[in-house]
A and B are shown apart, each in its own frame.
Chain A
């Protein structure tokens, strides 16, 4: 039942905000609905911690047989959702970051309205789509049906595309168009992959509903036709990889991040990329069962490594602060893809941890970046100076966030990157120099850019509306805590998830 709650709340929120998203209290409603979603996911998480993997609706779910409609509905939904340690942790993370971003967006969007960049009608669109976007991501994570997963992923694209073009500037329209076309085309490839997967599964599981259900596919993964599956995986990787932002399919990502409103950049970077990677990893598990690890792992490692290296070098050439951090997201998604590609318990553990800390850190960075560029009135890094003077907390937030994302020791990013690097040294030593060089380049360019922005001289005025910095420091605190000490139940949880996918 918790699953219905987790999915129902954001959907309800989308409806409510579609009606009332332009009211003055809409940001609060948005935050409340996001909190309710987060609360529902904690219930779900508690349930999974207590009871382990679950499938919903399972055979225990009995409806009144006289009610035809209910029976049909139950038949339609049977086994359509499932929760295991892998996705529940992403569900919790998604709902949490969704909630904190809603908190952040409250003053941010109000200031944007003061600046005249959005009007009430667009705010209504924004709020409604924000909830719908949360819904599609959660649906994608929770769906047991590989086809529905695709539908939800496409839904996530559709719900964010109008958000990227929210400001209706030429640049934002261009970014949104690119985002829409590239991701739709990419996802079309993923649909073809899904069709091939169904094609292979249908011969084992028979036609009809069960042949696309992940739990069933997982059971018979050894019997699936290897040729078909290898082709299917290529299409799935290219398709969902476009959404992950893997090089060379990443072109939409920096534009969409730079031109959309900052809360959207934060959730795109922090959540959507994770969800897309989740889809890739789910596909990989099935393919590995049929083919062994080498094929899919090799492909993922290749794409991952390429993303890390290319993104690191592009990082150094950026002038726009949001673009720069968007490239940093590409780099980190590359690290995760590489980690999952290597496979094995340790690498998968590191990948999962990196997903968590990256999503928290990157969204925190986007929060500070959003406020900073709002105060400076530009996203050009050469014009943003002296954050520490106008708002010391904001300045320190950006410094700490950047240090965290660059993988400096006490933070959790260091832990996960360290694990990835050591595993790579053991198993694929050829890859380590590339990774190290990329990390160093990224470090130099980000740090070199952030330092003058924070400590330089400035004439900028403070914004009348105080920034929402609680989310920033909450995220950074969690990342720091994860770097120092991972609680045993979290370790157990990650281990279970890593065992599922490694």
Chain B
């Protein structure tokens, strides 16, 4: 599979992910605007924002260390890597052996660690506050995420994301309560990890509640653009992981060019639905107080564990 078509597929997928991620964010924002009876911004707005930011001059704090400068690149790299190895369009890609679920969680954790370090680097109070909150959420979300992935891994007998997707995509249809539990848990983790309502509100800078925005308060220009872009890719990656685990139908095999249009269409449809769903959730729910976040995430963990246990008991 490491032949030329495989590599072509891999490159295609990686480029596609990076280019499509802001579109997804735009789509979610648009949906949310509709649902909240506002006039929607253009779906391409994230691209304009990125372009605008890239054209500005970067400003740094006097005592910023190299960590602060590097972090946007590391973040972007991590997210790109993650999105590149998740089977988005096709299974069996050359990078697929790297797409181990534990490695994947590790990549996300690396990104989180650097963003927390960078936030503390300047020494402003908001940075420290944001870093602390971010680490709290991450500390609780990570086990839930792992448990969710393990449920799927147990069902297919492998921690390789590709194998999991392969197994799940080609099984006969059946109702799997364990996967339902895992799906709900995953959704909760997705909301928490991507700084969405009810854990965080991506559109405010209210110092009492902000988590993610506090982390990146000191960034400007191209660095901010990279981070925003990385955030978009992260959302994209999470959504594609969710799709791969819980609705993998229609994914192509590597090298199978004929299946590609179909895979594209299926992915676009599923992402559109998922984005609309995310907007709906954000509209319906209110933000939780920060100290309720542990409860929210422990519920996610609980559901994930239940899913795993249910799998062992009812074999499904």
Whether A and B touch (Cβ < 8 Å) is answered with no
